[in-house]
């Protein structure tokens, strides 16, 4: 009896820290499990964002099927002004070309892009390869293996595009995330990996090229793929906020303003600095055009590499 009373008291204590039932509720759908890389950015984004809107918000994790289940949930809530999605690049710009989904790039009201990090082509520091040219040469006898965080993810697409557009000979081995792929790279099971600065900094890796249209600050001696004689391939890991279609323009405007203020807030900036997320704000119209363009480009890559159905 005593222990039950204590537990109830603890729960009540927890309860008071939340405003239990608020008149205006906003659900922020994150299409990954709690604690993931996208989830932690969304959770840092949420407090300032909801404060700006003057609502109580809840982060809801709806995970599964390469983030498309949660994204579909947003798309299916047409006209609902109380739901938004914090979306990764893959679910918006790759997955619709890969399989039949209940949504497409036109199913959303685009609010803003929050962060974006260019991807690097990397090899292990313990290997003796120091340039992309050398990598291509050494791949001629025996094709290399490149890892990815799963089939149809950005690391996969970036490398598939590189293989199609250069003389590099390499084959794909997917893993269940960047972490396991790094373990494989450390054990020399795979030799190449494309991923962001976060991964590059945390593991013993050597960048050979960057998938961006200009050299990246802090990595001034890493050439862009275009400088290496390849077509201008632009691959970045980005995230953004979308709302379902059919919400009022006024509501969309409120979201857009709140997002702009949040992204520019000191709180979010200091978090982004810690988590090495590059803030890259785009407003509603720019973001919409950006997603459309990325969608077309990725579709082309998938077709060239023979991955599209």
The residues in 133-162 that bind another protein, with binding defined as CB under 8 A, are: 145, 150-152
Q: The tokens of 45 are what?
A: 């984004």
Q: Which of residues 164-203 bind another protein (CB under 8 A)?
A: 171-177, 179-180, 182-184, 186-187, 189-190, 198, 201-203
- Rg over alpha carbons for the chain, rounded to the nearest Å, is 21
| Cβ nearer to another protein, comparing 131 with 248 | 248
Nearest distance, CB of residue 156 and another protein, angstroms: 9
Assess 303 for contact with another protein (CB under 8 A). no
Options 65-73, 233-241, 250-258, 283-291: segment touching another protein (CB under 8 A)? 65-73
* Residues between 222 and 251 with contacts to another protein, criterion CB under 8 A: none
Residues that bind another protein (rule: CB under 8 A) add up to a total of 77
Residues 75-134 binding another protein (CB under 8 A) are: 77, 80, 82-83, 98-102
Look-up: residue for tokens 């040219």? Answer: 133
Show contacts with another protein in window 271-300 (CB under 8 A): 271, 274-276
Site map for another protein, 21-60, x if CB under 8 A? x--xx-x-----xxxxx-xx--xx-------------xxx
CB 230 within 8 A of CB 162: yes
């Amino acid at each position: 009896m005593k222990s039950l009373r204590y537990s109830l008291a603890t729960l009540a204590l927890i309860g008071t820290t939340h405003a239990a039932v608020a008149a205006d509720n906003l659900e922020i759908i994150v299409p990954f499990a709690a604690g993931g890389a996208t989830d932690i950015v969304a959770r840092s984004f949420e407090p300032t964002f909801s404060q700006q809107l003057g609502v109580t918000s809840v982060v809801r994790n709806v995970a599964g099927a390469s983030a498309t289940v949660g994204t579909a949930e947003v798309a299916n809530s047409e006209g609902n002004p109380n739901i938004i999605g914090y979306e990764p690049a893959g679910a918006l710009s790759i997955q619709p070309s890969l399989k039949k989904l209940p949504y497409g790039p036109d199913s959303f009201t685009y609010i803003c892009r929050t962060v974006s990090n260019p991807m690097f082509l990397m090899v292990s520091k313990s290997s003796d390869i120091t340039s992309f040219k050398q990598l291509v040469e050494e791949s001629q006898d025996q094709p290399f293996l490149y890892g990815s965080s799963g089939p149809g993810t950005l690391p996969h697409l970036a490398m598939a595009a590189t293989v199609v557009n250069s003389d590099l000979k390499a084959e794909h081995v997917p893993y269940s995330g960047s972490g396991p792929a790094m373990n494989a790279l450390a054990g020399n099971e795979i030799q190449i990996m494309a991923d962001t600065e976060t991964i590059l900094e945390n593991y013993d890796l050597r960048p050979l090229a960057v998938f961006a249209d200009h050299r990246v600050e802090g990595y001034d001696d890493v050439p862009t793929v275009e400088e290496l004689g390849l077509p201008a391939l632009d691959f970045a890991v980005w995230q953004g906020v979308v709302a379902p279609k059919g919400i009022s323009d006024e509501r969309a405007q409120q979201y857009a303003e709140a997002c702009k203020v949040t992204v520019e807030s000191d709180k979010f900036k200091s978090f982004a600095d810690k988590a090495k997320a590059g803030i890259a704000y785009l407003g509603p119209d720019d973001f919409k055009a950006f997603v459309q363009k990325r969608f077309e480009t990725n579709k082309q890559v998938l077709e060239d590499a023979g991955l599209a159905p």
